[in-house]
Chain A
Amino acid sequence: NAGVTQTPKFQVLKTGQSMTLQCAQDMNHEYMSWYRQDPGMGLRLIHYSVGAGITDQGEVPNGYNVSRSTTEDFPLRLLSAAPSQTSVYFCASSSLGTGAYEQYFGPGTRLTVT
C-alpha cells in the first residue's frame, strides 16, 4: 500500500493564482482531512470529509474549497492564492470503523505564495 500520497511536493504561486493540491489514499478510509502547518501553531484543520459526497469545514476554511467524488481522492483548491496561505499542507485519512480517528498523514506540500 502506498498509504496517503500528495502532489506536488513543492509549489510557488503568485498572488491571485489558483491551484489544486492533490491527495489520494489506498486504504479505503472513509475519513479524509486537510491541515495546514505554520510555525508555532501546530496543525489546523481546513476541511474534512467523512465519505464520498460529504464535506465539512474545519477551523480555517476561508480561501479553500474541497470536494470528495470518490473514497480515494480529496483535492484541496485554492481559489485565489494569498501570501497568508504560504504554509505546509498535509492530507490525512482515517478509518471511522475503528472509532478512534487515528490518522495517517501524507508527506506534505510546501506552498509559497509571493
Chain B
Amino acid sequence: AQSVTQLDSQVPVFEEAPVELRCNYSSSVSVYLFWYVQYPNQGLQLLLKYLSGSTLVKGINGFEAEFNKSQTSFHLRKPSVHISDTAEYFCAVNRNTGGFKTIFGAGTRLFVKA
C-alpha cells in the first residue's frame, strides 16, 4: 500500500519570496507522483506530475518539483510566489501499474502575505 505525508499543514510566506512544500511518500512498488492545487471553493487541478525520466518536473504557474527516489520525496518549489498562489496544495501518489487508487496527502495551506 502507498501513503503520502505532507510535512507542513500551513506555510505562510511573503510575496516574492521562495517557497518549498514538502512531500514524502512510501510505497513498495514504483509510483507516479502528482501535485494538485485547490483554490478556495473550487475543485482540484493538476499542477504537475512525475511519470518517469528527468527527476525535475516543471508545471504550471512557475512551480516545479523534484523526485528523489532515495529519500522517497517529491517536494514542490517556486522561486518567487504571488498573492494569487494562496491555495491548498495536495501531493498524491498512484501505482504505475494497474493502480486505480490515488492516495492524497492531507494538504498544505500556502498563505502568501503582501
Contact = CB atoms under 8 A, between A and B. Distances in A.
Nearest to A90: B43
A58 interface: yes
B94 A40 contact: no
Contacts of B34: 102
Interface residues of A, number: 25
B100 A50 contact: yes
Contacts of A40: 9, 106-107
Contacts of B36: 105
B46 A102 contact: yes
Interface residues of B, number: 25
B63 interface: no
Given A58-B101, A90-B43, A105-B43, A42 B107 contact: yes
A44 to B, nearest CB: 8
A106 B43 contact: yes
A5 to B, nearest CB: 11
A101 B41 CA distance: 24
A33 B103 CA distance: 12
Interface of B: 4, 6, 9, 32, 34, 36, 41-46, 49, 51, 90, 94, 99-107
Given A35-B104, A59-B101, A100-B94, 19 more contacts: A42-B4, A42-B6, A42-B104, A43-B44, A43-B104, A45-B102, A48-B101, A58-B101, A90-B43, A90-B44, A92-B44, A100-B32, A101-B94, A102-B34, A103-B44, A103-B102, A105-B36, A105-B45, A107-B43
Interface of A: 4, 31, 33, 35, 40-45, 48, 50, 56, 58-59, 90, 92, 100-103, 105-108
Identify the 7 closest CB pairs spanning chains A and B, nearest first. Answer: A105-B43, A42-B104, A43-B104, A42-B106, A105-B44, A107-B43, A101-B94
